[in-house]
Structures are given as structure tokens and as C-alpha cells.
Amino acid sequence: MTGYEPVIGLEIHVQLATATKMFCGCALSFGEPPNTRTCPTCLGLPGTLPLANERAIHFGLMIGLALESTLAPRSIFHRKNYFYPDLPKGYQISQYDEPLCAGGRLGDVRIHRVHLEEDAAKLVHAGSSGRIHGSDSSVVDFNRGGTPLAEIVTEPDVRSAAQAREWLTLLRTTLRSLGVSDVNMEEGSLRCDANISIRPIGTQGLGTKTELKNMNSFRFIERGINAEVARQIALVQAGEAVEQETLHFDPRTEAITSLRSKEQAHDYRYFPEPDLVPIAITDAMLAAARAAMPELPAAREERLAGLGITRADAHQLAMRTELGDYFEAALAAAAAPEPQALANWVCNELVARVQEQDPADSNVAPDALAKLVSLVAGKAVTIGNAKIALDHLVSDGGDPAAIIEAEGLGAMGGGDGALAPLVEAALAANADATEKIRAGNMKAIGAIIGHVMRETKGRADGSEVTRIVREKLGV
Amino acid sequence: MSVADLTALTAAAAVAAIERGELDAGELFGAYREAAAADDLNAYLWVAGEAPEPAAPGAPLAGVPLAVKDLFCTEGVPSQAGSKILEGYRPPYTASVVARLASAGAPLLGKTNQDEFAMGSSNENSAFGPVRNPWDRMRVPGGSSGGSAAAVAAGSAPWALGTDTGGSIRQPAALCGIVGMKPTYGTVSRYGMIAFASSLDQAGPLTRDVTDAALLLRHMVGRDERDSTSVDFPAARKRQLAAGKSVIDLPSRESLKGIRLGVPEELTAGAEGIEAGVLASFDATLKLAEGLGAIVETCRLPHAPHALSAYYVLAPAEASSNLARYDGVRYGLRVDDAGDLVQLYTGTRSQGFGAEVKRRIMLGTYSLSSGYYDAYYGRAQRVRTKIADDFRTVFASFDFVVTPTAPTVAFELGALTADPLAMYLNDYCTVPMSLAGIPAISIPSGLSEGLPVGFQLAGPAFSENAILDAAFALERAIGFDAAAGRTV
């Protein structure tokens, strides 16, 4: 870039898709009226005590297994103390120096730790700014308070905003395949902070880092990191120092503002939570977590690549779980399509038509796509007409063979002799091109094929047309 | 029967009389309600307005009413922990132990005064005024469960619930001439107890005699699914299933033959500040114990002299966090004139908390702060471990450790309020057991200067039955006359 490289570590908060909250029996909230999913415990009423959610611990272990972490046989909860209206007890129950999972790796990024904690409630500020400073009043909705969170902290292994985005995609797909979270950034079930510093390329030290908080989409993460890296480089090039501080990125204006400086940093006064006993992981808990592990995206990519399909297609199918599932369903269909051909149709043609939608929810049954791909392979339909057939499938569903029959899209091969007169007519009508072909310029054959295609409305098999031309002209 | 006649019975005797049909539970409740309403010791912060539903037929406590320390949450009934910051607070739920006792047939008689958030040894830290000692109204009843102790001693309650963090059941029991027991940490659910120091707080009975303590404790103990730090007595379940028996037996022992009593030098003659009259009563009790067949020998608790220092790091540290929720946002006191969030916090907490609570919040906040944690909290935890080890070592050779409960008899109101450290020394002999999490009982051993003296008996974890048995034998031998404390 400019002689500097960014050094980036990520902290990801994942809301776990348990039935109930982290430390009480309240059901998780999905947009219910405010303060209807609460109880004395998650409101922090005097005398209440937390109870650790076993399912959240199970999910935490699954995440640890997926990230190749060391699972602690014994871990403890700590209290993280600070005052804020969204924190009803005046402390958050979290984990500190004895987390559930330590170390690990996902793709090209090492994992520092994974721990469990409870989410804060939601503050709604009246007034123009939407933030607490300058607001006329604030109200608290405790529905979200106490939702289980797994916090995943990486080592500072990320070197660009694009890599951060790519890696987060892998993480999100991995978490989704585990079924432990909805991993929806817009709804806040996946949230990301980035610790960012820069250093001269070729050096190994770590510069002063800043923390960029709570970016709520992959696009904002990429833009936020780029903006912060640019800010740091500009500072250093101007001979100034980067200050350690916590920053906020405004995606509308791309402005970065300081939330608090190092001097204003909280002293959280962590100490072991005396209301909870340590988490002791039993063999049965480990066995249950292992048994619940699905195939992970990275492993799926390897397996699909092993079928002989391109790395890019295997990656796309593995990273979009629903696409991979659709592909595998079609691959298993009776029509038995060839894997790479099927991958082309799924990753290019189908995706172009269904966009972000889960193809399983479209009108195109996996069996139908498999059959269409096989019909193309068997030269029963040209690629061009097969795409038209796919349009019909997307809008109405149905059987591809029936659509081809009904719409007259079937290929005209050489076998029935119907193509030969059409080729002769095309040669006659395109004397120029015919001469060039005779002279050995095979590029000119495009005009002949185009003529035949027009006459047959795309049903002609291009390679059969070529064969007949060669035969007639003796080239 | 007159109110005086009705309230003269111990709780166990009242249960038996009701079961024999000689006493009507409703009449008994009415007599106690009248006595509690007439209380002039400031022992009660709330008294039941009407008679409860009759106890279910066969309920083991038969409708004998119960006074409950203010900090136990009771649904719809003021539960203020003696603090202005919770003035008028009525919880939407009832503490597990109170609910358990109610279903066993002990209805709520009233809520008793206490030191604010259980921080104090004289009950002078209550936001609702001090409690007076029924033996001498110019003196304190001890604390923090001072209201519960005074009510039982005066006879306005048959028995009461208290909580003990560093001595808050045993010390007021000693100063009021009654029995008070702190059970093994974890044996009684803390769910619904407004927390002071979570790793130390434990509910227990304050009663007129050892039998009542056993009877009340029997219906308090047991694992509660809502408190993950709560435990069953080891093998309790098996035992209950096998014989249909309770976990806690009613005591019956008359001799102490072969019982080895360890007298820790560090908490008796070797300690400074234990009054001569208290030591004299303690020594006389040891003689009685020997007369019952006990073997009395000196033992060592080498780290016990550091217990108070460790306690005043650990308990305030936990308190500073436990009391963070009183912020004026959701319940309790809230200052009206707050201009912003910080003013809401500081205004509410400045006005809502008393001086001692503020002192401990500041102590605890300091000792948990970055850079000080290891020197204070970390070191205090290591001392705590050493103290627990000391007790384990002693219990390899002794059945019980015995000490005076408090270093002095009840002192005059205001005598120690200007000297927090002198006040803290009240817990010198009780704090080591709290840090070790082991059970201990205080029984009245006699009088010094006309005021009650307490004798403390502590045993290994889950030795409640043995402690109650030994205390029962001593109680009979001592023959303490509690009449001078009665006001009803």
C-alpha cells in the first residue's frame, strides 16, 4: 500500500440459538413487545441468582471443536463490573482468565480464545442523535438482556480488510453449519469488533492498536477497517502517534470518532463469580458435543474439490451452505449428472436466477436441475435452449424434459438427416464465409452456425453443424 | 391462655401442643402478632396484618409463626435489607428458604430489623433505626441479624431466620442470650436472600433453644435448583429414602463422653480484647463439658488471627459488586433531580446508602482494582485457603473447635459507632468459620455483668447433627435462665 501493513485481530460476539437465556429460564426474544421476556433474575432483582445454561455450554464446546480449540476441563465465570442502564446487575457475567476454550485455528487465522457470557439489554434513546449523549430520555428493553453469547477472539493474524471479510464469511458459515446461531449481522446475532494497528512492511513488532466497535455488516467491516488503516497511516506519515482508543465507525459518513481514550478505559474489576460453580466438562458432555458436529465448510470444500470440480466452485458451494446442500441433493438424483457440469449450472446459472434466495425454496427441484444437466450432456438440448428451459423451471417449476418438448427446445442432431439441408442452404447463402472456410479459415464457420441457429431457433447442435460443414467442404 | 402463656412455649413445644390438640395455631399466631405489634425494641420493620391460611394438615411445623430478617425477599411484603435505597421495595417473589418453611407450616409473622445489607455488628447501621437489646435497652442486640435476635430473646417471636456472613447470626444470638446457628455454606439456598457477600452469606436459625434450632434447620436445608451453589447433605438422599428420616435430627445427647474439644489459643486466652467476664464464662463452660465427659485440649489455628483482615478484603469486594444493581434505574430509591445518567447514579447511591455501606463499597472497589487485585483480593483468598486448611488439620484430632462467640457482652448504643475497627473486632471469633464455610452454633453460656455470654461450637462441614447434639448436652448442663430477657 504505502510501505505499511495492517495488523488486525477480530472479536466476534455470537448470540447462541438456545431456547432460553444464559442464566435464567426466559425464552429468547425475537421482536416481542419490550420487557415481556423477563424474570426477576434477568432484571437483576435483589436476591436472584444465575443458573448456567447447559445448552449454551454445549454450543460453546461445539464452537471450540470447530475452531480446533483446547477445551478447558474446568472453566469459571467472572464478573465484569461497570455501570450502565443496559446492565441490570451492574456487572456482566463473563469469563476472564479461565475461558471455556483456548487457542485454535480457522482457515488462515489462529484463535486466541472462546468464552461464554450474557448479552446486555437494549437501550432506546429518544431525541435526534440516537445515542445516549444529547438524547432527551432513554428507555431500556430487557428482552435481549441475558441472551447467551459466545465471544470468539482471534490472534492478530489478519492483514487486510478484504481478508477480514473473507475470514468472517468462513466463520459465519462454520457457525451456521453448527446450528449454534442465526449469525445474522443486521439483527445483531453476529457482531464484530476489530483491533487494528499498522507496521512497516517487513517488520514483526506490533504498533499501538485501536479498537473499532460493533460494525454490523460485512461491508461496513471492510470499509471501517480500510478507513481506520488509512487514518493510522496518515497519522504516522504526518509524524504523529496513533493513540490507543476505542473508536466508532459511522457507515453513512465513513467518519471515525473516539468513544473513549486509554485514560477513560474502564477498570472492570474482574473477580470470580461467587454465585456460580465452575463449569466442569464431563466425558459425556464432550461426547455429546462431538456427536453433534456436522461436516464443517472447510472439510466440505476439500471433499467437493475431490470430486473434480474447480476450487472456486467448491469454495462457493462450501461457503454458501444452502447452495452446497442443493448441489449435493442434485448430485444424488437419479439423473446422475457429471459433477463439474452440475457445479457450473448451480454456481452460475441457478445463482444468477435465484440470487441470495435459498435454491431449495425456489421452483427448481434438485432432481429437475440434475435432469436438465444430463439432457445437455446427452446432447438432447443445446446449452442455450437449456438456459431457456431453466427460466421456465424458475418461474413455474416442472419437469425439464416436458418443458423442452412443449416449448420445442429439443436439439436437432445429425442422426435424422434434418440438419444437412439446412447447412447446405446456409453455405449457399453465405458465399463469403464458405470461401474462407475452404481456404482454411475455420473462424468463418461462426457465420454458418449462426445462420443455422437462427433457422432452427437455437435447437441445432453447434458441433454437429461443424461436422457437417467439414464433411461438405472437405476441410 | 394469655399472650404471655401462649408465647412462653418454645417452638418445638408449641408444635407438639398443636399436634396434641391442646393449642390452636390461629390463636398462637394472634398472640405473637399482638406481641410483635407491641414490640418497643424496634425489632420489626413489618408485622403481618392478618392471620395466614391454616397450615396444611400434618404440616410438620403446624402453623408456628416465623420472624424473618428483612433481607429475605417475601412476595408483596417490604423487603428492604435495612436500607433506605430499598425503602418500600416489595419483591415479586419469595426466597426459597422462606417458601420452604411456609410450606412446612411456619407462616410469616414479620420482617425484622437489621444492619443495612447485613453490614454491621450492632444493628446501628439500619436505615430504620437501631434495635434495642431486651436485656438492657441502652445496649445493642448485636448484628447484623439484631432484630431477629432481639425478637426471639424478648419473646415476641417463637423463632427467627437470620443470615450470617462473618458472625451475623452467632454474635447477636450471643449478645441476646439465645441460640444461633450458621450451617455449612451451601446447605441452605441463598435464592431470594438480598446478597452482601455471596461466597460467605448463609441463612440460619435464631431460636430459644438448641432443639428449636434443629427443628427449624431441618426444614431449611437441601439443594435448591435455583441456587447452583447449594448442596444436599452427603448421603442425605440415601438416608431419607432408607428410613423416611429427616436430614437433621432432633438432638438428644446427654453426655459428651469421648468428645474432643479443641480450644484454639489464637481465639481465646491468646487473643487480645476478650473480656475477662466472657473468658470466665467460657472457662466455666469448658469445666461443665469435662464434667459431661469431654476431653478439652488446646489446639492451633495459626492463620486465624489473619481471618478478620482477609474477611474485610473479600466481603467488601463481593459487596461492591453485589450492590452495584442499586442504581435508581429499575426499583428502590431514585433521586428526582438527576440531570444526567452519572448524576442519577451518584445522587441515588449517595442518598440511598448509609456510611458503613459506602465505606465497604469503596474498600471493595479499591481492592478489586487493576494493579491491586493480587495484593489484596488474591492474597486474601490465599489466607482463606490457609484458614480452611487449619480447620481440617484440627478436625483430624478434634471433634469440635470451641471459642467465646463474641469478645464482649452487649455494649452500649453508640459506644463503637465512631470506631469501625473496634466494631469489626466483634467478629474476631466468628469470621474464621465463615471463611472456612463450616457450621458453628452459639449457645448462651451464662452471664457477665448481668448480660448474656455466648459459647461457640464449630465442627467440620456437614457436622450439623453432631454440633446440635453436643450443644444440646451443654445447654442442659448450663441451664441458662433467659427470663430476664423476656419482655412479653
DSSP character string of A174-206? HHHHHTS----TTTTSEEEEEEEEEEETT----
Q: What is the pLDDT of residue A133?
A: 61
Q: Which residue has the cell 474447480?
A: A310
Distance CA(B271)–CA(A372), nearest Å, equals 94
Q: What is the pLDDT of residue A216?
A: 82
Cell readout for B270 is: 491468646
In CATH terms, the fold of domain A419-473 is Arc Repressor Mutant, subunit A (1.10.10)
Residue B40 has φ and ψ, to the nearest 5°, of -115, 20
Residue A233 backbone zone (phi > 0: left; psi -120 to 50: alpha; other: beta): alpha
The Cα angle at residue A379 between residues A373 and A383, in degrees rounded to 5 = 60
Residue in B89, B196, B368, B379 to test binding to A, most A beta-carbons within 10 Å:
B368
Residue of A nearest to B186 (CA): A275
Q: B485 near B153, Cβ under 8 Å?
A: yes
Instruction: Quickly state the pLDDT bin for A134 (edges 50, 70, 90).
Output: low
In this structure, of A139-153, A162-176, A449-463, B341-355, the range with the lowest mean pLDDT score is A449-463
Yes or no, beta carbons of A81 and B321 under 8 Å apart = yes
Residue of A273, A243, A269 whose CA lies nearest to A258 = A243
Instruction: Kindly list the residues from chain B whose CB atom is less than 8 angstroms away from the CB atom of residue A267.
Output: 369-370
Amino acid (one-letter) located at B18: I
Residue of B nearest to A24 (CA): B226
Distance CA(A16)–CA(A116), nearest Å, equals 10
| Mean model confidence pLDDT for chain A | 93
The distance in angstroms from the start CA to the end CA of chain A is 55
Distance CA(B204)–CA(A14), nearest Å, equals 42
DSSP sequence for A120-133: --EEEEESSSSSST
Residue B196 C-alpha, separation from nearest chain A C-alpha, in angstroms: 10
Distance CA(B119)–CA(B166), nearest Å, equals 9
Domains of chain B: 3-254+466-472+480-485 (3.90.1300.10), 306-377 (no CATH)
Instruction: Kindly list the residues from chain B whose CB atom is less than 8 angstroms away from the CB atom of residue A43.
Output: 330
Average pLDDT score over residue span B27-50: 96
Distance CA(A179)–CA(A159), nearest Å, equals 29
Q: Residue A349: exposed, middle, or buried by beta-carbon count in 10 A (0-12, 13-18, 19+)?
A: buried
Instruction: Quickly state the pLDDT bin for A417 (edges 50, 70, 90).
Output: confident
Residue of A325, A353, A330 whose CA lies nearest to A341 = A330
DSSP summary character for residue A434: H
Distance CA(A64)–CA(A95), nearest Å, equals 15
pLDDT higher than threshold 90 for residue B244: no
Distance CA(B154)–CA(B198), nearest Å, equals 30
pLDDT higher than threshold 90 for residue A282: yes
Percent of chain A past pLDDT 90, that is, above it, reads 74
Q: Are strands B108-112 and B400-404 parallel, antiparallel or unpaired?
A: unpaired
Report the DSSP beta bridge partners of residue B203. Answer: B163
Q: Which residues contact A437 (CB under 8 A, 6 or more apart)?
A: A444, A445, A448, A469, A473, A475
pLDDT higher than threshold 90 for residue A294: yes
Q: What is the pLDDT of residue B337?
A: 80
Residue in A22, A24, A39, A45 to test binding to B, most B beta-carbons within 10 Å:
A45
Cell readout for A45 is: 432483582
Q: What is the pLDDT of residue A128?
A: 55
Instruction: Kindly list the residues from chain B whose CB atom is less than 8 angstroms away from the CB atom of residue A50.
Output: 228
Is omega for the bond preceding B144 within 30 degrees of 0, making it cis?
A: yes
pLDDT higher than threshold 80 for residue A135: no
pLDDT higher than threshold 50 for residue B474: yes
Q: What is the pLDDT of residues A82-91, one digit of tens each?
A: 999 999 999 9
pLDDT higher than threshold 90 for residue A215: no
Residue A342 C-alpha, separation from nearest chain B C-alpha, in angstroms: 55
Q: Which residues contact A390 (CB under 8 A, 6 or more apart)?
A: A345, A349, A350, A353, A364, A369, A372
The Cα angle at residue B21 between residues B17 and B24, in degrees rounded to 5 = 80
Q: What is the pLDDT of residue A1?
A: 47
Query: Regarding predicted confidence, which is higher, A310 or B5?
Result: A310
The Cα angle at residue A213 between residues A210 and A217, in degrees rounded to 5 = 125
Active site residues of B: 69, 144, 168
Instruction: Name the residue facing A40 among B92, B195, B321 (closest C-beta).
Output: B92
Percent of chain B past pLDDT 90, that is, above it, reads 90
Residue of A39, A20, A23, A14 whose CA lies nearest to A142 = A39
Q: Which residue has the cell 448504643?
A: B413
Distance CA(B54)–CA(B26), nearest Å, equals 7
Distance CA(A247)–CA(A272), nearest Å, equals 29
Residue of B nearest to A44 (CA): B325
pLDDT higher than threshold 80 for residue B273: yes
Instruction: Name the residue facing B91 among A47, A88, A271 (closest C-beta).
Output: A47
Residue of A186, A150, A178, A149 whose CA lies nearest to A356 = A186
Amino acid (one-letter) located at A436: K
DSSP summary character for residue A31: S
Distance CA(B146)–CA(A20), nearest Å, equals 41
Cell readout for A18 is: 438456545
Query: For the stretch A286-307, what's the b/e string if a residue is b when 16 or more beta carbons lie within 10 angstroms of its beta carbon?
Result: eeebeeeeeebbbebbeebbeb
Instruction: Quickly state the pLDDT bin for A129 (edges 50, 70, 90).
Output: low
Residue of B441, B430, B445 whose CA lies nearest to B482 = B445
Instruction: Kindly list the residues from chain B whose CB atom is less than 8 angstroms away from the CB atom of residue A89.
Output: 324-325
Q: Residue B232: exposed, middle, or buried by beta-carbon count in 10 A (0-12, 13-18, 19+)?
A: middle
Instruction: Kindly list the residues from chain B whose CB atom is less than 8 angstroms away from the CB atom of residue A275.
Output: 190, 195, 198, 228-229
Instruction: Name the residue facing A49 among B89, B226, B368 (closest C-beta).
Output: B226
Number of A/B CB contacts below 8 angstroms equals 102
Cell readout for B173 is: 444470638
Average pLDDT score over residue span B2-6: 85
Q: A226 near A235, Cβ under 8 Å?
A: no
Instruction: Kindly list the residues from chain B whose CB atom is less than 8 angstroms away from the CB atom of residue A45.
Output: 73, 91-93, 330-331
Average pLDDT score over residue span A366-387: 93
pLDDT higher than threshold 90 for residue B239: no
3-class DSSP assignment, residue B72: strand
Query: For the stretch A115-145, what's the b/e string if a residue is b when 16 or more beta carbons lie within 10 angstroms of its beta carbon?
Result: bbbbbbbbeebeeeeeeeeeeeebebbbbbb
Query: Regarding predicted confidence, which is higher, B99 or B340?
Result: B99
Q: How is chain A split among helix, strand and coil, in percent rounded to 5? A: 40, 20, 40
Average pLDDT score over residue span B190-206: 98
Q: What is the pLDDT of residues B409-464, one digit of tens each?
A: 999 999 999 999 999 999 999 999 999 999 999 999 999 999 999 999 999 999 99
Q: Are strands B159-164 and B66-69 parallel, antiparallel or unpaired?
A: parallel
Q: Which residue has the cell 445427647?
A: B253
Residue B317 C-alpha, separation from nearest chain A C-alpha, in angstroms: 9
Q: Which residues contact B27 (CB under 8 A, 6 or more apart)?
A: B1, B6
Residue of A nearest to B365 (CA): A269
Residue B321 C-alpha, separation from nearest chain A C-alpha, in angstroms: 7
- Continuous segment of H or E residues that includes residue B241: helix B236-243
DSSP summary character for residue A50: -
Residue B349 backbone zone (phi > 0: left; psi -120 to 50: alpha; other: beta): alpha
Distance CA(A433)–CA(A441), nearest Å, equals 9
ipTM, 2 dp: 0.96
The Cα angle at residue A184 between residues A183 and A188, in degrees rounded to 5 = 105
pLDDT higher than threshold 90 for residue A471: no
Yes or no, beta carbons of B324 and A83 under 8 Å apart = yes
Distance CA(B130)–CA(A314), nearest Å, equals 77
Instruction: Quickly state the pLDDT bin for B246 (edges 50, 70, 90).
Output: confident
Q: Which residues contact B344 (CB under 8 A, 6 or more apart)?
A: B327, B328, B329, B334, B335, B338
Yes or no, beta carbons of B368 and A132 under 8 Å apart = no
Q: What is the pLDDT of residue A70?
A: 98
Residue of A413, A419, A416 whose CA lies nearest to A472 = A419
Instruction: Quickly state the pLDDT bin for B237 (edges 50, 70, 90).
Output: low
Average pLDDT score over residue span A42-52: 98
